[in-house]
Chain A
């Protein structure tokens, strides 16, 4: 067959899959514990953190070998950055508005 199925490649895949499955469970319980009042900030912040895809974009833009891939990577870095800065900033702006009753 090929490399992935040799040399414990399948084990690699299984261990990553395990992390994914566990993270789904963590996500399920953590998200249910989010108060409904904060569901809009939740969407804004999940938006920001899903831009961790910037890691892939950085790898693509840092690598030599394919100029096209590099430029695609750079564009992806820019798009993800809009989300990272915009997402965290707008979440912070919203959260700062939530105030308790003054007593």
Chain B
């Protein structure tokens, strides 16, 4: 049975929807245009949904509207309530839903190929469509189970430590080969057992791929799963000959791939080594090693307040520890007071400062830090040499000069802030005991111009704000 081509306006509608999705991403090139971009995205989705509904014989409209209402309600309430610090796990959870939806759509297409117009004249599913369905369900299932594990690790419901199975590389490669082999065989024989075996193996491999990856690599994993969810949508777009789905799949797939690349580069990790997993296991092992005792200076809130008031320029380097201590609001107040006193204040953000790409920028935006005071690593790094005060709060590895000098360091090669070039460095830390995510000591602690502010980040910022006020 041959699939009748849909009317021209339908194809155009899906094309417009796809173009609107491109404009949605295009809008994100600047915060000023981003909200309009988001509205383009919503409009594109509306066009796609309405076009599908009016061109298909929808006997079950009430059920469909019910499903949209239930799902939409859950999504909307979650989006309203979620804390910005929990964004990585929310995104991981959302990825898992896209993955599961792709699996369900591919399964439905397999069970009812006629509805999708993918049957050949012989009454069997077209071989090309079988490949597309096989890929769609496999990528969807990998996205689902991988995202579930990523969600559990990010939400702290499962240990972030890598779980290393013996022979895991052999098992993983074997499973992947089996999936690809079965998809190839599926073009010859469309027996249900093949289809369901592909599905089961894909769920398994998604799980196996993510459990050996440590918490530190989660920004890469979340980006990678973002990419997978796009490829899953694209594969289903091929099955349905739907332009909107294909364009979207390509956009999302590229987006996730580029973000993974940016994150890997920011950590000086190769993509292969992230996928292979195990990072964090060796760091945990070396983290407990004996540390040499070197002299360091302890500063007080008053010292910090005084030095920053005297300074012309201050660069704040926030890390995830700041968000854990919920210090971003009081930090912004501190910056406001300094700015009122004529000090230039800038924020320097490392790509891996948060738990996902751009996470720190969102956390600062939430604390009402103007985005034009926030700078990326490569844009601000040369300024430290002319800066009076570098104020490090909740960051550690991203300011560690060992990344530039010590070839044996686990973070060697990672781009870091040149805070050691600033005239004075204030380093907020809970205690001298703990070390960063990578478990390495930091020479910045022991520099002549460094003063350690040993306290909870929020408490310390509050004290500095008080000291700034009283000194006036």
Contacts and interface: CB of A to CB of B under 8 A. Distances in A.
A81 to B, nearest CB: 3
A102 B370 contact: yes
A40 B243 contact: no
A4 B120 contact: yes
A11 interface: no
B109 A61 contact: no
Interface string B246-259: 11111111111011
B105 A53 contact: yes
B98 A51 contact: yes
B84 interface: yes
B141 to A, nearest CB: 13
Nearest to A60: B108
9 contacts: A13-B128, A26-B250, A26-B251, A35-B31, A46-B256, A50-B233, A52-B21, A82-B72, A84-B71
B101 A57 contact: yes
Contact of A60 (B79, B112, B120, B127): B112
Nearest to B251: A27
Interface in A34-75: 34-66, 68-70, 72-75
Nearest to A12: B241
A43 B18 contact: no
Contacts of A99: 365, 368, 370-371
A89 B75 contact: yes
B248 A50 contact: yes
A90 B82 CA distance: 8
Given A53-B245, A58-B52, A4 B38 contact: no
SS of A interface (majority)? helix
Contacts of B247: 19, 23, 26
Nearest to A40: B358
A33 B31 CA distance: 12
Interface string B358-386: 11011001101011111010000000000
Contacts of A77: 64, 67-68, 71
Interface residues of B, number: 127
B233 A58 contact: no
Contact of B115 (A37, A69, A79): A69
A63 B112 contact: yes
B71 A62 contact: no
Contacts of B238: 13, 16, 20
A58 B53 contact: yes
Contact of A45 (B38, B80, B244, B354): B38
Interface string B163-193: 0000000000000000000000000000000
B72 A81 contact: yes
B239 interface: yes
Interface string B55-87: 011111001100111111111101110101001
B236 A53 contact: yes
B100 A79 contact: yes
A75 B63 CA distance: 10
Contact of A80 (B97, B124, B237): B97
B28 A52 contact: no
Contact of B41 (A23, A45, A54): A45
B145 interface: no
Interface stretch (B221-229, B421-429, B443-451): B221-229
Given A19-B246, A58-B49, A81 B126 contact: no
B142 interface: no
A62 to B, nearest CB: 4
Contacts of B129: 4
